[in-house]
Amino acid sequence: MGRLFGTDGVRGVANADLTAELALGLSVAAAHVLAEAGTFEGHRPTAVVGRDPRASGEFLEAAVVAGLASAGVDVLRVGVLPTPAVAYLTGSLGADIGVMLSASHNAMPDNGIKFFARGGHKLADELEDRIESVYEQHRTGEPWERPTGAGVGRVTDYTEGFDRYVAHLIAVLPNRLDGLKVVLDEAHGAAARVSPEAFARAGAEVVTIGAEPDGLNINDGCGSTHLELLRAAVVEHRADLGIAHDGDADRCLAVDANGEEIDGDQILAVLAVAMREAGHLRKDTVVGTVMSNLGFKTAMEREGIQLVQTAVGDRYVLESMKAEGFALGGEQSGHVIVLDHATTGDGTLTGLMLAARVAATGRTLADLAGVMQRLPQVLVNVPDVDKSRVETSPEVATAVARAEHELGDTGRVLLRKSGTEPLVRVMVEAADLEQARAVAGQLADVVKSALG
């Protein structure tokens, strides 16, 4: 069996890869593993369970709740809420485990299960490995130890979770948003109620699109992966800015008043400068990934802010932040982590903080985002190659060295193995888009011929 847990929980096509049986079994296994680790010691354990609006989330939620309760865990069912809300409530309510059912920005047929440990933090790799091992052990025949009578878990609908989370978002904002007009694209996802409510309570005039989830339309032509509707709506409504979330609202991308995209690197740049001015950017450092735009790195150097770069994936950004005590980090895709106020990427919080910076300075978002000049970045996926040889092939190494020499200090080259597919990703940045395309194409041809 291949590893079930990826970099962001267990994910697959609902009712094909991710079945009710798997969801139930993993939940029971998680309860047993955390009990063995001493998490439940001395008290009756509690779990927070939430989901995004996908139709499959209804039966998967039922399976997870059944699994946890059958293992003696009391369940607080919070319903449709963003992933960061479930993480926040897990910590805020002192729960022992949090479970979110979502496939984030994936298409509707997919779904996923993400576990949070006490405090609302992602489970450590070793705990995920142990859960998978215990699940497999019992799936093949060994019976579970099951509580009976009063020992079984009780299930409660925790309807206060919505207001508790929104109140938290408002409480941590540095200033109100009065006078701003904001368009919110909710991707027909988990933040369809939360985000408009939070922005409105903070004082903004709110226009919403993509805020009518029906279980089938999540991420469908809208949200952070499809900004066309948001661009048009911002211009049409003459809004100050637009905010786009993905299905579970752990991401945030933005659009300025002219309808131009503001990506995760630019959002990070704006927030880094704001937090540094307020004295909240610990060690004057922001954490990004190796995919962060070279323009972001240049801008941070100019502002006297250090950039620490990690492997791609918000979990690696978070690990670096926690290990070194940094306050801000994120990815180009819009995963932004403000560790003083959230344990994971929080798209609603990010959007609120970005809008708060616009309100506080009286400057346009385009002006604020101008702190960095985004260099053209071209990404080419080269499929059906032996990705294991990308770092050892002399032909590839020669081609990379030639490309780096051609680009000089005004660009860079990055070759990455896909974590899930037999392909190599070729990324080239250059001051000129045509040069970036040409160099990326040449490198892709070499990778194909050398590793194909």
Q: Is 104 a catalytic residue?
A: yes
**Residue 248 annotated in ligand binding:** yes
**Residue 104 annotated in ligand binding:** yes
**Residue 133 annotated in ligand binding:** no
Comparing C-alpha atoms, which of 192, 29, 226 is closest to residue 113?
29
Quote the CA–CA distance of 405 and 310 in Å, as a whole number.
24
Quote the CA–CA distance of 79 and 164 in Å, as a whole number.
14
Helix (H) or strand (E) holding 167: helix 161-172
Instruction: Name the residue with tokens 């000089």.
Output: 408
Six token digits for residue 416: 């990455």
Instruction: Name the residue with tokens 């059906």.
Output: 384
> CB neighbours (10 Å) of residue 178?
10
Three-class SS state of 207: strand
Contact call for residues 104 and 76 (beta carbons, < 8 A): no
Ramachandran angles phi, psi of 332, nearest 5°: -60, -30
Comparing C-alpha atoms, which of 221, 213, 243, 246 is closest to residue 231?
243
- Angle at which helix 347-361 crosses helix 83-92, to 10 degrees, equals 100
Of residues 27, 56, 104, 393, which has the active-site annotation? 104
Contact call for residues 229 and 185 (beta carbons, < 8 A): yes
CA distances from 406 to 292, 297, 395, 435 (A): 21, 20, 17, 10
> CB neighbours (10 Å) of residue 85?
33
**Cα R_g (the chain), whole angstroms:** 23
Active-site residue set: 104
Binding site as annotated, residues for Mg(2+): 104, 246, 248, 250
Binding site as annotated, residues: 104, 246, 248, 250
